Amino acid sequence: MATVDECRNVLEKMAGKVARKSDELELEEGFERTLAVEITDLGQTFSAKLAGNKLTDLLDGDAADAEVRILIGSDDLIALSKKELKPAKAILTGKIKIKASVKDLAKLRKALKVD
């Protein structure tokens, strides 16, 4: 099992990647969402904002008003970051669970090119 610090580091790196690729994201103008990432086996939640095609304000703690909630185990998060686990397969096998509106899922899927 990975540690909270390892998970935080991975999420910070992912946020940096989103920022570097912000020009490639195809989110509509004004699209803003609060995200919560629950690390299920550690009982830890992180929250962040997706706005202006950037993922910012990564904080320890839950965002009760999050429009997008991602549930993932610590080892699966680490495997995703190392590209040992593909996002689509993780979703299909239930290793990642995403709670969001259908509209938000479609926008995020297209923006992050999860196929």
**pLDDT tens figures, 50-64:** 887 788 899 999 999
CB atoms within 10 A of CB 110: 13
**pLDDT tens figures, 41-52:** 999 999 999 887
**pLDDT tens figures, 7-24:** 999 999 888 877 666 666
Query: If 0-12 CB within 10 Å is exposed, 13-18 middle and 19+ buried, where does residue 42 land?
Result: middle
pLDDT band (50, 70, 90) for residue 115: very low
In the chain, % helix, strand, coil (3-state, to 5) comes to: 35, 30, 35
pTM reported for the whole predicted model? 0.85
Rounded to whole angstroms, the Cα distance separating 57 from 15 reads 9
Pairing of strands 68-72, 44-51: unpaired
Q: What superfamily does domain 4-103 belong to in CATH?
A: SCP2 sterol-binding domain (3.30.1050.10)
